[in-house]
Amino acid sequence: MSAAQPQSPTKDRLLQSATKLFSEKGFEGVSVRQICKDADTSMNMIHHYFGSKEGLFDAILASFTDKVFATPLRVLDQDVQSKAEFVTRLEVFFEETLTALIEQRHLVHMMARHTIAPTAMASLMGNLVSYLATCQAKGYIRAGIDPSMISGFMMDRLANQVLYAAQIKRDTQFDLINDPDYRARWTRSNLELILYGMVSPDLTA
Amino acid sequence: MSAAQPQSPTKDRLLQSATKLFSEKGFEGVSVRQICKDADTSMNMIHHYFGSKEGLFDAILASFTDKVFATPLRVLDQDVQSKAEFVTRLEVFFEETLTALIEQRHLVHMMARHTIAPTAMASLMGNLVSYLATCQAKGYIRAGIDPSMISGFMMDRLANQVLYAAQIKRDTQFDLINDPDYRARWTRSNLELILYGMVSPDLTA
């Protein structure tokens, strides 16, 4: 992965304003004029930096690279030695992925609005599936469970929680973005569920 | 719940065209002119039936009532007598909710695009949480699991699968909408995971 290019403040402001506006109103609902006004710059700057509104949209998507998930990816990039280590790494992965998605939440909103599943997310899920398959081969995960189902379950849950954080806060007072206690509780409950399921082992018929 | 009003074909066509266009381009990205053209009707019909584009949007949302989830709601509306019955009812609920969401997939897309969590979905989740709490009190679900986490997990998974069905088909060939075998396999795998978790009971430290 190449290092980030130094960017002019104007270019940065355009990216930030456009991400916010696209996430609120959609690509079709935002004009070049609105973006430039929000970014406090002149109309020809989008043409100068991005060629067009389409180019600006693509530049925003391109910023959602594997770098966004550098920490969770690092957590999986280890040879796991015990089941306890597997569980701990999965917990850290879940927490760090949530943190990354919260940091990028305007972009996550923008992509959901346009039903775009970003490459970086697909890549993260691919790494998670490999990690789970390795741990399954070592006997830490039950045979017969499809690792891609676990990965899908985890990512759906994480992405939607970030996407609907505002509604959830309005409806329940729980504030995933700003309340670290709630975030920790939410993370623990979800991991408990995906690890052990809702049905107690001793109740299993 | 009141019975459905008889509707004129023109009104129906406007609702269908607008649902499709709003789901593809967003509210801001669609003009009254485009909707009327797609519905093959004259410009003043939106004013006549809905007052405005906003009124039309609200009418579409209002069509996503509890009726959409009549079958899954009925499945939960029973006094459960055994753990086996609890598991079976949960399976049928999961399948029937998926079917309802697939039938309403254009509306599901439209709502996701505008980050609207519909009342009918909140109501379905409320019913599911009550059902799970009752079953937990009877000992069918492990103590310490928060029923609202189970409900959230299940609904996130179902809604996203319908939302991203087209991408998933493109990327993996799996066709949730048209392939009943895949749909059945997907449903079984997800239920297995949420019921028993990924970690085998006999491996639990």
**What is the distance between the alpha carbons of residues B34 and A35, in angstroms, rounded to a whole number?**
24
Cα dist from B48 to B18, B31, B52, whole Å: 15, 16, 9
pLDDT value, residue A13: 94
pLDDT band at A64 (very low <50, low <70, confident <90, very high): confident
In this predicted structure, what is the pLDDT of residue A5? 53
Q: Nearest Cα to B1, choosing from B119, B131, B148, B132?
A: B119
The mean pLDDT of chain B is 88
By CB atoms closer than 10 A (0-12, 13-18, 19+), residue B79 is: exposed
User: What is the predicted pLDDT for the residue at B3?
Assistant: 47
Span of A41-45, A115-119, A134-138, A148-152 with lowest mean pLDDT: A115-119
Residue-wise pLDDT tens digits, B129-178? 999 999 999 999 988 889 999 999 999 999 999 988 888 888 888 999 99
By Cβ distance, the residue of A25, A153, A190 closest to B26 is A25
Rounded to an integer, the average pLDDT of A101-130 is 88
Amino acid at A141: I
* Mean pLDDT of the A123-136 span: 94
Band of the pLDDT at A201, cuts 50, 70, 90? low
Residue B143 has a pLDDT of 87
Place B4 in a pLDDT band, splitting at 50, 70 and 90. Answer: low
- The two three-digit tokens of residue B70, written as one number: 């009549």
Q: Under DSSP, is residue B146 helix (H, G, I), strand (E, B) or coil? A: coil
**Record: contact B198-A160, CB cut-off 8 A:** no
H, E, C per residue of chain A: CCCCCCCCHHHHHHHHHHHHHHHHHCCCCCCHHHHHHHCCCCCHHHHHHHCCHHHHHHHHHHCCCHHHHHHHHHHHCCCCCCHHHHHHHHHHHHHHHHHHHHHCHHHHHHHHHCCCCCHHHHHHHHHHHHHHHHHHHCCCCCCCCCHHHHHHHHHHHHHHHHHCHHHHHHHHCCCCCCCHHHHHHHHHHHHHHHHHCCCCHHHCC
- Whether residue B149 lies within 8 A of chain A, CB to CB, comes out as yes
Q: How far is B95 from chain A (nearest CA, A)?
A: 16
B200, pLDDT greater than 80: no
Q: Which of residues 44-63 of A touch B (CB under 8 A)?
A: none
Residue B198: list chain A partners with CB under 8 A.
132, 141-142, 145, 150, 194-195
Range with top average pLDDT, A7-11, B26-30, B31-35: B31-35
Q: What is the mean pLDDT of residues A50-61?
A: 93
B33, B40 Cβ separation under 8 angstroms: no
Q: What does pLDDT average to over chain A?
A: 88
Model confidence, pTM: 0.83
Supply the pLDDT for residue B113: 80
**Cα angle for residues B145, B146, B149 (degrees, 5° grid):** 110
pLDDT of residue A22 exceeding 80, the answer is: yes
Residue with the bigger pLDDT between B91 and B5: it is: B91
Is residue A6's pLDDT more than 60?
no
**Choice between B16 and B3, residue whose per-residue pLDDT is larger:** B16
Chain B nearest-CA distance from A40, in A, is: 23
Partner-chain contact A171 B203, CB within 8 Å:
no
Q: Is there a contact between A193 and B115 if contact means CB atoms under 8 Å apart?
A: no
The 10s digit of each residue's pLDDT in A24-48 is 888 888 999 999 999 999 988 999 9
d(CA A88, CA A71): 15
Residue predicted with more confidence, B117 or B119: B119
ipTM: 0.78
Within 8 A of B83 by CB-CB distance, chain A residues are: 199, 203, 205
pLDDT, position B62: 87
Query: A82, A135, A198: which to substitute to probe chain B, counting the most B Cβ within 10 Å?
Result: A198
Q: Indicate whether B38 pLDDT > 90.
A: yes
- Give me the mean pLDDT over the A68-81 stretch: 92
Q: Is the dihedral of CA B124, B129, B135, B140 positive or negative?
A: positive
Average pLDDT over residues A111-129: 87
What is the enclosing helix (H) or strand (E) of B60? Answer: helix B53-62
Confidence of residue B54 (pLDDT cuts 50, 70, 90): very high
Question: What mean pLDDT do residues B15-20 have?
Answer: 93
Contacts of A145 (CB under 8 A, 6+ apart): A136, B189, B192, B193, B198
Confidence of residue B5 (pLDDT cuts 50, 70, 90): low
CB pair distance less than 8 Å for A167 and B115? yes
pLDDT digits (tens, 9 = 90+) for A159-191: 999 988 888 888 888 999 999 999 999 999 999
Residue-level pLDDT at B171: 82
